[in-house]
Structure 1
Amino acid sequence: MALAVSTASAQSAAEPKANENAGIEEVIVTAQRRAQSLQDAALAVQSFDTDTLTQSGIESATDLGLLSPALGISAGGGPLASFFVRGVGALTVNPLTDSAIAQNVDGVYLGRSSGAAGQALFDLERVELLKGPQGTLYGRNATGGVVNYIPNKPVLGENSGYMQAEVGNYSKLGLQGAANIAVSDDVAIRISGNKLERDGFSDDGTNDQDSFGLRGQLLFNASDKLSIRLAVDHSEVSGKGAGGDLYGTYSNDTGSLSEFTPTGLPIDSGPTDAGANAIRSGILHTPSFAPFQPIDGEDLYQDISWTGFSAEINYQTDVGTLTFIPAYRESEQDYQFSGPGFAPAKTAEENNQTSFELRFATDLDGPLNGILGAFHIEEEISTSTVFAQNYASPIQNYDNGGDSWAVFAQGTFDLSETFRLNAGVRYTEDSKFVDGISDTFVTFCGGAPFTGNFLTPGPPPFNSFANGCASGAMPAQPVTSDRDAFIQYFVDEGLIAADSVADIPGRGRPPVYNFNLPGGVPPTPGRNPEPILGAIVNVGDGELAADLSYSETTYRLGAEWDWAESNLLFATFETGYRAGGVDLAVGPASTYDSEFIDAITIGSKNRFMDNTLQVNAELFLWKYDGQQVTYFTTLEGASAFPIANADATIQGLDIDVIWAATGSTTFGLNVQYLEASYDKLALISDPGKGRFGCSSNGVSDDVESYDCSGSDMLYSPEIGADLNVNHVIDLANHQVSLTAMVSHRSEQQTNFLLLEDTKSDSYTTLNLDATLYSGDEDWSVSAFVRNATDERFSINTNVSNRGLAYAIFSPPRTYGVRFMASF
């Protein structure tokens, strides 16, 4: 059992399976934009029904990484969730960065990966995970795969529903329910809701849960051929949000930046723990040479909401079905998080998207059938953020967005009753814009560097460092994303000249604001009448202004052979594409290139032993060209998030087995062997400031580069395995369903610094669930333990430019009871 779980089998272990004739139930998916058996879908796809999600403790999209060896998720502050499939993914740290894993809610594409945080996983029919590029049917930003969230839909002529309550440790209370109402023979409504509250796993209250969601749908069969389904959803997330533990510090001595010292602080101490703050306060920020300030837990919060409106209109003809999906989604985000020691990082963001998809799926009698379609999306985003670090404040205020449109077609031609060829093609045009200002205010000990006063020792008493920089006299910067309010704060405090304004960097010499504090460097005749203890310099990118356009044709080729009645062999070649864009590195409107991926898959899906044994297997080889790698570094003395383009090779084997051993016992096993490493990856920093686990290529044009070729890709464990065992016991008029789920992952990298101590250790976890069902199955009571062995592993690591290393860890052991009643 220590090998792992096949939740991938989509078996609903929470429902009793005992029957006279053991057999594996059919699972229907829509991964290829039409309903078909999972066993008939010639692609790598996993499906998880709502019972599997519940038993696994999946409460939000950020938990989905626990379900599959192929899927990894980095959960940062607020809604910053980054998805990876077999190492293919992106750290989506701001709305300028697109996700490499496409996510769709009820058939509607989410333009921003932060939208995943608003998906409360309740009243779902299933979640589908498509592994590998899906450039034809799903298009751009699906280079690594697709996650589809598919809700239960209204049912005509049926009045039904359910209520579910769950209580557990950490003061957990979860309530959800749904009602299906038959308004008439041709009209039905489904209303569902979810409320979840849980104390923080960390002692300081971080890593808590406080969410609320509602979904409403109306289905109208206007005629035998025309159906219209309208949907609206709204979700909110509050509380403190994610917070990392200070698990270690790195040396700040040049040449020893990768030397690591564990703090010894316990897991779940939290970022605002007294011990963590004591260590933090002993670290000097540079170039201010002032000690970092403690992090205050009262400064951490999140207030985020998402709202969506959509329709699905289906019109059936004699030759196929026409589907039209118009949609509008918006979000408002206000949150502050600590990240790698941010003090804190503050974000206010509003975004909206409008999208349309039109598809025609043929249903012809001849050998050729397929799908034709067109897609368009337009996004508008307004962002105001500051990644405050006490004495350095990168402030960005900008609008960005753009639009994308595509046309696509995919078809299958039956050469015989058992052999088929399929092909698909998609043409995409993307346009992106950004317009705003990027400031980076940095406090310097002494005067600005170009004045020659930076850390000038001078004869006593004119010595900036000795006279106060390291003594706490240097004022910390305010946490505000308003550039004018930032400068006004220092004016109001009497710390800088009363007529100071926030100048835009990049227009000549960097704007400098000298402190009115005693001590420091000697007066400069004709320039500085008083000694200067310190100065604030705006070394930011300046005006962000760019209009970019990209286009690409992606395609798919495949062959399928039914070598027996319940046995399929297939081979595919598919390409994927993600457009380039603008990053917040150094220099006005720095841009990065598009990325591309080619994927070869050979797979087989099989049923044996009178439908009691299912064996699916997949061999895959992916070539990644120009992966957009977002990483944290130091450039021109300030923190930066540049984007590099890297090449990689990903290959491996995936085996998925389900065995209905008896009418009451089912086993599931999913094992993945993966080799995912970079063929070419170069990262940069200021000379001597790069804290990378890679060799230096030396310094050129005042920038040091590092060769990280051969490094493992993020969230790509060599061995991943899941094992699921379910046994049903008949008790007179009741049944008991017993489920054990074991998951194992070998060590995996979680940070593009690629350091040994930013890796997540290998782990094995165990979930247990026991459910008592009534004879007519209209109620059930469950007792559960998740992570029964209390195995902890890092799911996200962040390291500040001064070596403070924080990690967010997986949930501890949790337990509770669940009651469900249906009607």
Structure 2
Amino acid sequence: MALGLPNAYSQQSNEPEVSSQAGIEEVLVTAQRREQSLQDAAVPVQTFDQDQLTQAGMESAQDLGLLSPALGVSAGGGPLTSFFVRGVGALTVNPLTDAAVAQNVDGIYLGRSSGAAGQAMYDLARVELLKGPQGTLYGRNATGGVVNYIPNKPVLGENSGYLQGEVGNYSKIGLQGAANVAVSDTVAIRVSGNSLDRDGFSDDGTNDQDSYSLRAQLLFEPNDKLSVRVAADYSEVSSTGPGGDLIGTYANPTGAPNGPSITDFTPSGIPISTGPTDPRANELRTSVLHTPSFAPFQPIDPNDLYQDISWTGFMAEINYQTDVGTLTFLPSYRESEQDYQFSGPGFAPAKTQEENNQTSFELRFATDLDGPLNGILGAFYIDEEISTSTVFAQNFASPIQNYDNGGDSWAIFGQGTFELTETFRLNAGVRYTEDSKFADGISDTFVTFCGGAPFSGNFLTPPASFGNGCASGAMPAHPVTSDRDEFIQYFVDNGLIAPDSEADIPGRGRPPFYDLTIPGGISPVLGTIVNVGDGELTSELDYSETTYRLGVEWDWADDNLLYATFETGYRAGGVDLSTVSPTYDPEYIDAFTIGSKNRFFDNTLQLNAELFLWEYDGQQVTYFTTLDSASAFPIANADATIQGLDLDMIWAATSNTTIGLSMQFLDATYDELTLVSDPGRGRFGCASDGVTNGIETYSCAGNEMLYSPEFGADLNLNHIVNMGNYDLSLTAVVSHRSEQQTNFLFLDETESDAYTMLNFDATLFADNAGWSVSAFVRNATDERFSVNSNVSNRGLNYTIYSPPRTYGLRLTANF
């Protein structure tokens, strides 16, 4: 229910937002599918306008985790982005998993969470963060909440716009702007764009930005009843991409009775912001032996890391007003083409080529009746088609997956409010959803074994592997390709395996194997490549669920609202290309909320509070582990309890001074969570439950959920200095978060330390001149904390850190 502090001036309009009577401006939201005051919306929602996003340095939606104590964002390899609200979320490492926090761009649901990487923060009316399940109005995949990106729309009868340029350290150059053109009394268009280029925060060039986005809208209102708006958008990212620092290594199993623990950690001593391809990181990397090849890992080449990704969208919004309400129709089509390689937990690298598209339709009718009952009725449909080719290359292990997946979903819903009296209301809603999912593909896992295949009797482990020459550097590394035939052909073309070798499909008896032609010092061959993958896998699943909401609202004074709600959420189960967990169950959440929204002292003090208790059943947990001697991403189901208190305050202390404070106290703990690995290979900070059927299980109950700090707070201060024909707006933001876990390994080293971060912004406005100039410093004390951590199955810990101190100048001109 937090509300971001309004800036004293809007940099895109140069108009004051705080009145001369020091009153707090009203903020309008569409969180409940109709426009209303944020203070009248009986839901926990936080908003950020364009000026707040700009001042905070939001380069894309992947940065939003810095804005709210309730929101955590894990930006992994390439465009992979995972959102968490109070610990509720999912690591969406591939398109086989859905997000648990729904994202909507201009009212259109994004089926793939990777779309956040292409969502630049420009020409937006606001971003809305709805906290908690939104199972009625938003439906599936909103168990944690919803993020709405709402662009500025065309305005009839107005010719206006803005241009904004920003320069900063790390050679940053950012440009954005928009133009609104009144074509006629009934037609207007709005065109906007954004371009961003910045060197990498890491010395090797990773964690950089090179992107641009365009958006075009046309509004047609032939009369006061009909409104038609069509829009198209395009975004492209061509940067090196994210990269973690090699902060240290974990011990590997030796088989000795008193050997080191697999969770024993040795810091690397390599400074942060050096990047995964730094020579010191590569030197440490090449000192570690892969298993079961027992050959040293190869260095990561910076030229192997790249992103070439685009997103395209088309949509329309048709509104027709009747005497009893408004009918809204939203058809859309979106597609994305993705080609990227990233290092992740020391991948060499991981490569993904993906094409996805979605078609969706939503029809709503919002009533506007004179009686006590009003509400919304609607229907929704989406169809997704995805084609993926990927390999998580590890030099001597290559999990290759080629598959098509997708499905469709439809729902009908309704929500209404009944006024028992002028001040007391009942609220209820229900939604019925049916989901169909499919996956069809081939899962290969090519693994090199020292000396020979395990079933040959020639497989060698240390110390015999050293005598066979496996650690000598002679073992040929795998090519980085997601084409299974091309993989085998590479070894054939280089004379490394038999010339008649073919990429046989595994899962049909004894695994396909390919002896290397290089002789060993002990065994007949140096090593053998074995395909231990699952082979052809096909799955089709259908799910259905009814979610609902119940609530009461009481206006105990003119500017004071007290409400209580109970809402359920649902995320469909799915399919995975794995024999260990070929399917996973749906997840459910029940959320109890008691909230209050208040204005006091002649509209100068806003005080909101929310007390919440969520019961999370079957959270879909995607985690990194070792299965069949190779990296794997199985999916488990977990139960958790989330409870806490959210407090938010805005005080317009004077006509020139505004103070805002948002705080969250949170307890988010797993009640049940079981993870698996090969015996002795699970690097979890959890107790082992033993080995059954060749699989070791670990009980991780009692651990805190990911991205769920026990305490978070944001303090915002804004003061305007009047200087004759000029005004100077001074803004300071102090943000604090306590420790929070970033990885389902639950290790001490994957926990992000507590931090306190300071941002400063000074903006000079000239009265009625239409321009402003700003100087800013973000993360003024250069506080660095981990936002994402990855640990390879051989114990290499690569951690991505928050941005360093940045500073620069910004010039905005309005016309």
2:547 is aligned with 1:554: yes
Which one of the candidate residues 257, 261, 264 is aligned to 1:256?
A: 261
| Kept after mapping to 1: 8 A contact 2:742/2:787 | yes
How big is each residue's C-alpha offset from its partner over 1:25-79, in whole Å with a ceiling of 9 and x where there is no partner? 0000000000000000000000000000000011100000000000000011111
Q: 1:473 aligns to what SS in structure 2?
A: coil
Equivalent residue for 2:331? 326
Count the aligned residue pairs: 806
2:383 is aligned with 1:397: no
Whole-Å separation in 2 of the counterparts to 1:372 and 1:397: 40
Report the Cα offset of residue 583 of structure 1: 2.2
Q: 1:291 aligns to what SS in structure 2?
A: coil
2:813 is aligned with 1:821: yes
Report the Cα offset of residue 513 of structure 1: 0.4
Report the Cα offset of residue 541 of structure 1: 1.7
Equivalent residue for 1:578? 571
| Kept after mapping to 2: 8 A contact 1:17/1:728 | no
| Kept after mapping to 1: 8 A contact 2:7/2:718 | no
Amino acid paired to 2:688: S
Report the Cα offset of residue 17 of structure 1: 4.8
| Kept after mapping to 2: 8 A contact 1:464/1:532 | no
Report the Cα offset of residue 465 of structure 1: 3.4
What is the Cα-based RMSD across aligned positions, in Å? 1.3
Equivalent residue for 1:525? none
Equivalent residue for 1:678? 670
| Kept after mapping to 2: 8 A contact 1:13/1:52 | no
Report the Cα offset of residue 222 of structure 1: 2.4
| Kept after mapping to 1: 8 A contact 2:235/2:312 | yes
Report the Cα offset of residue 310 of structure 1: 0.1
Equivalent residue for 2:192? 192
| Kept after mapping to 2: 8 A contact 1:12/1:51 | no
| Kept after mapping to 1: 8 A contact 2:467/2:522 | no
Report the Cα offset of residue 638 of structure 1: 1.6
| Kept after mapping to 1: 8 A contact 2:124/2:150 | yes
| Kept after mapping to 1: 8 A contact 2:294/2:461 | no
| Kept after mapping to 2: 8 A contact 1:7/1:68 | no
Report the Cα offset of residue 456 of structure 1: 7.2
How big is each residue's C-alpha offset from its partner over 1:102-160, in whole Å with a ceiling of 9 and x where there is no partner? 00000000000011111111000000000000000000000000000000000000000
| Kept after mapping to 2: 8 A contact 1:10/1:47 | no
The correspondence of residues 485-496 of structure 1 with structure 2, limited to 5 A, is 485-496=486-497
How big is each residue's C-alpha offset from its partner over 1:384-438, in whole Å with a ceiling of 9 and x where there is no partner? 0100000000001000000000000000000000000000000000000111101
How big is each residue's C-alpha offset from its partner over 1:537-572, in whole Å with a ceiling of 9 and x where there is no partner? 001121121111000000000000000000000000
| Distance 1:570-1:489 versus aligned 2 partners, 3 A rule | same
Whole-Å separation in 2 of the counterparts to 1:188 and 1:504: 57
Report the Cα offset of residue 586 of structure 1: 3.7
Whole-Å separation in 1 of the counterparts to 2:380 and 2:105: 16
Equivalent residue for 1:407? 412
Whole-Å separation in 2 of the counterparts to 1:248 and 1:303: 30
How big is each residue's C-alpha offset from its partner over 1:619-656, in whole Å with a ceiling of 9 and x where there is no partner? 00000000000001111212110000000000000001
Equivalent residue for 2:97? 97
Which one of the candidate residues 313, 316, 326 is aligned to 1:308?
A: 313
| Kept after mapping to 2: 8 A contact 1:584/1:641 | no
Whole-Å separation in 2 of the counterparts to 1:660 and 1:540: 63
| Kept after mapping to 2: 8 A contact 1:7/1:724 | no
Report the Cα offset of residue 795 of structure 1: 0.3
How big is each residue's C-alpha offset from its partner over 1:650-686, in whole Å with a ceiling of 9 and x where there is no partner? 0000001000000000000000000000000111111
| Kept after mapping to 1: 8 A contact 2:8/2:718 | no
Whole-Å separation in 2 of the counterparts to 1:354 and 1:277: 44
Report the Cα offset of residue 699 of structure 1: 1.1
Report the Cα offset of residue 10 of structure 1: 4.9
How big is each residue's C-alpha offset from its partner over 1:503-551, in whole Å with a ceiling of 9 and x where there is no partner? 11101100000000122444xxxxxxxx122000001121121111000
Q: 2:468 aligns to what SS in structure 1?
A: helix
Equivalent residue for 1:359? 364
Q: 1:386 aligns to what SS in structure 2?
A: strand
Equivalent residue for 2:456? 451
Amino acid paired to 2:32: Q
Whole-Å separation in 1 of the counterparts to 2:99 and 2:462: 48
Report the Cα offset of residue 774 of structure 1: 1.1
Over 6 Å off, 4+ runs: none
The correspondence of residues 291-306 of structure 1 with structure 2, limited to 5 A, is 291-306=296-311
Whole-Å separation in 1 of the counterparts to 2:497 and 2:223: 73
| Distance 1:159-1:457 versus aligned 2 partners, 3 A rule | closer
Amino acid paired to 2:490: Y
Whole-Å separation in 1 of the counterparts to 2:726 and 2:382: 51
Amino acid paired to 1:757: E
Amino acid paired to 2:332: A
Whole-Å separation in 2 of the counterparts to 1:118 and 1:330: 12
| Kept after mapping to 2: 8 A contact 1:719/1:746 | yes
| Kept after mapping to 2: 8 A contact 1:338/1:345 | yes
Equivalent residue for 1:468? 469
Report the Cα offset of residue 253 of structure 1: 2.7
| Distance 1:438-1:609 versus aligned 2 partners, 3 A rule | same
Report the Cα offset of residue 215 of structure 1: 0.1
Whole-Å separation in 2 of the counterparts to 1:202 and 1:668: 34
Q: 1:468 aligns to what SS in structure 2?
A: coil
Q: 2:4 aligns to what SS in structure 1?
A: helix
Equivalent residue for 2:500? 499
Q: 1:285 aligns to what SS in structure 2?
A: coil
| Kept after mapping to 1: 8 A contact 2:447/2:630 | yes
Whole-Å separation in 2 of the counterparts to 1:18 and 1:563: 26
Whole-Å separation in 2 of the counterparts to 1:76 and 1:395: 19
| Distance 1:159-1:495 versus aligned 2 partners, 3 A rule | same
| Kept after mapping to 2: 8 A contact 1:10/1:46 | no
Equivalent residue for 1:378? 383
Equivalent residue for 1:803? 795
Equivalent residue for 1:565? 558
| Kept after mapping to 1: 8 A contact 2:520/2:527 | no
Structure 1, gaps ≥5 residues long = 523-530
Segment of structure 1 superposing worse, 381-390 or 222-231: 222-231
2:667 is aligned with 1:666: no
Identical columns (%): 77
| Kept after mapping to 1: 8 A contact 2:166/2:809 | yes
Whole-Å separation in 2 of the counterparts to 1:354 and 1:74: 27
Q: 1:8 aligns to what SS in structure 2?
A: coil
Amino acid paired to 2:584: Y
Equivalent residue for 1:715? 707
Equivalent residue for 1:288? 293
| Kept after mapping to 1: 8 A contact 2:292/2:461 | no
Q: 2:99 aligns to what SS in structure 1?
A: coil
Q: 1:92 aligns to what SS in structure 2?
A: coil
How big is each residue's C-alpha offset from its partner over 1:170-196, in whole Å with a ceiling of 9 and x where there is no partner? 000000000000000000000000000
The correspondence of residues 618-629 of structure 1 with structure 2, limited to 5 A, is 618-629=610-621
Which one of the candidate residues 765, 775, 778 is aligned to 2:767?
A: 775
